[in-house]
Structure 1
Amino acid sequence: MKILVSAGHSNVDPGAVANGYREADIAAEFRTLVAHELRQAGADVLTDGEGKDNKPLSEAVKLAGGVGLAVEFHCNAAINPQACGVESISLPAKRDVSERISAAIAAVLGSKLRGERGWIDQSKTPRGRLAFVNAGGVIVELFFISNPAELAAYQAKKMDLARAVAAVITGWL
């Protein structure tokens, strides 16, 4: 089964910017780390770019429709620097893998699970209809980039985090 690992936002859309970091850069870095771990495990992996390259959402959506599992990484942000936690947004058919990914992230980063055990049903979110989710994908909000403690935990543990997420994905297949 082919897996798409995508980075949220793009080379021209930085996403949230906080504490000296851009969401798009973190998403591209984490996509690359997870894709590497999946390939090391023998998985058939497709990405929406390599290294710092981060293609626009329109490209990721096209790729998502033709794979067994599509996962896209993002960072949450809030005005309150204490906002925290991890969540994965999907349609109900991907609830199980969404919850597992969120739980793995929470375990590594020491984060809380947002939503229903880390899962957000797209139809119940103020974000509305997300194209990547409608294409069958899972959007993972890794942590709050606006929370200095969560950002520091990510920076310190990103390799362990990539291994944990890759293990969930390969175990779900």
Structure 2
Amino acid sequence: MRKIYLIAGHHNADPGAIGNGFRENALNIELRGLIHAAIKRHDKSVVVILDDDRDTLAQVIAKVKQTVTTNDILLDIHFNSFIQPKASGAEVLVANNARGLSLDIAKELSALTALTLQIPNRGVKTESQSARGKLGILHTAASSALLEVGFISNPTDMANYQQWKEKLADGIAKILVKRAQS
């Protein structure tokens, strides 16, 4: 069975984006916890590895690379932000050379998140199509995806997330468990 790595983007000393009274790192940690609990409800035998909220991104990547295999799945959780509060929607980023399981998981996560939160589906994008360029967390041996849940800068995205976060976490867990068991 595949291991699942759940990464809450940013860390205790780096809040990430801030908007609508929320700090991205706190939202990422919250959703990671909800997903982890949902995975364990669906299948207690799935091995889930969580990042340490005290670690920097470089430390997280180094630790993941020490234990990850090509059989494993990695999900990095984030919230998007933009100067214009009208920007809305869920998207998933993958490595430029992603294929197979990474793309399949990314497509499922993007569709599920948009449907659950009733926000636009911005689809799957490669890291070079993102504003960030290269994303180190996507370059481990695992099948990897970076989920941008919605826009922290958009009041509707955030209200919908708050209303349906447990349902979203359960849906994400079902996708990850199904893929871990395959």
Report if TM-score (shorter chain) is over 0.5. Answer: yes
SS at match of 1:70: strand
Name structure 1 gaps, 5 residues minimum: none
Determine if the alignment matches structure 1 residue 6 to structure 2 residue 7. Answer: yes
Determine if the alignment matches structure 1 residue 133 to structure 2 residue 138. Answer: yes
Which structure has the higher relative contact order (CA within 8 Å, separation 6+)?
A: 2
Determine if the alignment matches structure 1 residue 172 to structure 2 residue 176. Answer: no
Distance in structure 2 (CA, Å) of the matches to 1:162 and 1:54: 23
Runs of 4+ in 1 over 4 A off after TM superposition: none
Residue of 118, 124, 131 corresponding to 1:119: 124
- Percent same amino acid at aligned positions? 31
Distance in structure 2 (CA, Å) of the matches to 1:132 and 1:152: 28
Distance in structure 1 (CA, Å) of the matches to 2:108 and 2:118: 15
Distance in structure 2 (CA, Å) of the matches to 1:110 and 1:82: 15
The corresponding residue for 2:49 is: 46
Matches within 5 A, 1:94-109: 94-109=102-117
The corresponding residue for 1:72 is: 76
The corresponding residue for 1:33 is: 34
If the length of structure 1 is used for normalisation, what is the TM-score?
0.91
Distance in structure 1 (CA, Å) of the matches to 2:145 and 2:61: 11
Name structure 2 gaps, 5 residues minimum: none
RMSD: 1.4
Counterpart of 2:131, as a letter, is P
- When structure 1 is superposed on structure 2, of 163-172 and 2-11 the one drifting more is 163-172
Determine if the alignment matches structure 1 residue 87 to structure 2 residue 91. Answer: yes
In the alignment of these two chains, the number of paired residues is 167
Distance in structure 2 (CA, Å) of the matches to 1:12 and 1:159: 26
Counterpart of 2:40, as a letter, is R
Go from structure 1 to structure 2 and tell me whether the alpha carbon gap of 1:21 and 1:61 turns closer, same or farther (over 3 Å shift).
Answer: same
Distance in structure 2 (CA, Å) of the matches to 1:45 and 1:54: 18
Go from structure 1 to structure 2 and tell me whether the alpha carbon gap of 1:154 and 1:171 turns closer, same or farther (over 3 Å shift).
Answer: same
Deviation at 1:61, TM superposition (A): 1.4
